[in-house]
């Protein structure tokens, strides 16, 4: 097989990348306390605009999605305006940038939640480990299981965040469904023990992810949408009884969307 030059263009969905290097999402904890990107974020991403594509640090879709201090959001107009200064800077330097959409699920703490409420999850299963708060590490708590009637609101929050990402000038979005956060918690049977249409078999556990992907692709062309999965990643106390079967089927269910990746 001939060698491939990393500095040659690459077609990714409907985008032509200038080279084959993609910057992975890296949580930096450098936004304002209100989750608004500012000058430090602008400089950070501008310095890296030579990558073929930048994937932003994980970006919270709603106040309830927050699980770490000083992480950015994309749910309100101030955050959109802050991100617009970032995307303008990256584009001026010739780069392309996707926004990674994030809901942490149970990987949070009441100190980081509106009104000190419990984090949410598919099932009330406490993960091992500590949350990172402004007061230092604190043990995770037992999350509150999302009620069936709340799930359309989660889907709507992803749709709204994707629409805001386009307003902020992003070239596309990546749905974070990996590493033990909310969508991954629904996918794996170690964290999802629901007895309703969103739990049980693989297709039921994948239901929320598919509804989110449908919603996101309703506002952002699927050729500019990616999804991140982590089939065997144990981070955040995650496990699945049969990851090969689970994620092989999840990928089969995602294939018809025509995603960028």
**Cα–Cα distance for residue pair 178/116, rounded to 1 Å:** 25
- Which comes out higher in pLDDT, residue 3 or 33? 33
**Rounded to whole angstroms, what are the CA distances from 180 to 70, 107, 184?**
20, 8, 5
pLDDT at 1 over 80: no
**Cα–Cα distance for residue pair 138/158, rounded to 1 Å:** 28
pLDDT of residue 3: 79
Residue (of 97, 47, 100, 42) closest to 74 by Cα position: 100
**Of 181, 198, 257, 261, which residue is the catalytic one?**
181
**Rounded to whole angstroms, what are the CA distances from 127 to 15, 42, 119, 124, 233?**
39, 34, 12, 10, 14
pLDDT of residue 230: 97
pLDDT of residue 2: 77
**Cα–Cα distance for residue pair 78/242, rounded to 1 Å:** 43
pLDDT at 104 over 90: yes
pTM exceeding the 0.85 threshold for the entire prediction: yes
**Cα–Cα distance for residue pair 204/174, rounded to 1 Å:** 22
Dihedral sign computed on CA atoms, order 128, 112, 194, 158:
negative
Residue 45 DSSP SS3 = helix
Residue (of 170, 152, 153, 213) closest to 79 by Cα position: 170
**Rounded to whole angstroms, what are the CA distances from 81 to 35, 131, 142, 169?**
11, 29, 35, 10
**Cα–Cα distance for residue pair 259/14, rounded to 1 Å:** 10
115, with CB counted inside 10 A (0-12, 13-18, 19+), is: exposed
Q: Is 198 a catalytic residue?
A: no
pLDDT in tens, 180-232: 999 999 999 999 999 999 999 999 999 999 999 999 999 999 999 999 999 99
pLDDT of residue 4: 79
**Rounded to whole angstroms, what are the CA distances from 241 to 35, 69, 194, 231?**
36, 32, 15, 11
- Which comes out higher in pLDDT, residue 3 or 20? 20
pLDDT in tens, 105-160: 999 999 999 999 999 999 999 999 999 999 999 999 999 999 999 999 999 999 99
pLDDT at 92 over 80: yes
User: In this structure, what DSSP letter does residue 255 have?
Assistant: G
pLDDT in tens, 58-91: 999 999 999 999 999 999 999 999 999 999 999 9
Separation of first and last alpha carbons in the chain: 23
Q: For residue 216, what are its two tokens?
A: 């996101």
Strand pairing class (22-23; 53-55): parallel
Within 10 Å of residue 125's Cβ, how many Cβ atoms? 16
pLDDT of residue 31: 96
């Amino acid at each position: 097989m001939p060698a491939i030059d990393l500095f040659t263009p690459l077609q990714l969905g409907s985008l032509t990348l200038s080279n084959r290097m993609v910057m992975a999402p890296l949580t930096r904890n450098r936004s304002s306390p209100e989750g608004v990107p500012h000058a430090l974020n602008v400089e950070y991403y501008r310095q890296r605009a030579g990558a073929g594509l930048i994937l932003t640090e994980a970006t919270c879709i709603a106040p309830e999605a927050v699980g770490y201090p000083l992480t950015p959001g994309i749910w309100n107009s101030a955050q959109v305006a802050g991100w617009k200064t970032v995307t303008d800077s990256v584009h001026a330097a010739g780069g392309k940038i996707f926004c990674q959409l994030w809901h942490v699920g149970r990987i949070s703490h009441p100190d980081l939640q509106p009104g000190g409420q419990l984090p949410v999850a598919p099932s009330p299963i406490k993960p091992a480990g500590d949350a990172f708060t402004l007061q230092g590490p604190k043990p995770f708590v037992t999350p509150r299981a999302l009620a069936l009637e709340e799930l359309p609101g989660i889907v709507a929050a992803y749709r709204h965040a994707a629409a805001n990402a386009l307003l902020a000038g992003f070239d596309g979005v990546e749905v974070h469904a990996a590493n033990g956060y909310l969508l991954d918690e629904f996918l794996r049977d170690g964290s999802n023990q629901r007895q309703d249409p969103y739990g049980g078999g693989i297709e039921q556990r994948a239901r929320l992810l598919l509804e989110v992907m449908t919603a996101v692709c309703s506002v952002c062309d699927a050729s500019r949408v990616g999804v991140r999965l982590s089939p065997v990643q144990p981070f955040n106390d995650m496990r699945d009884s049969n990851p090969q079967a689970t994620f092989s089927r999840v990928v089969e269910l995602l294939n018809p969307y025509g995603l960028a990746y």
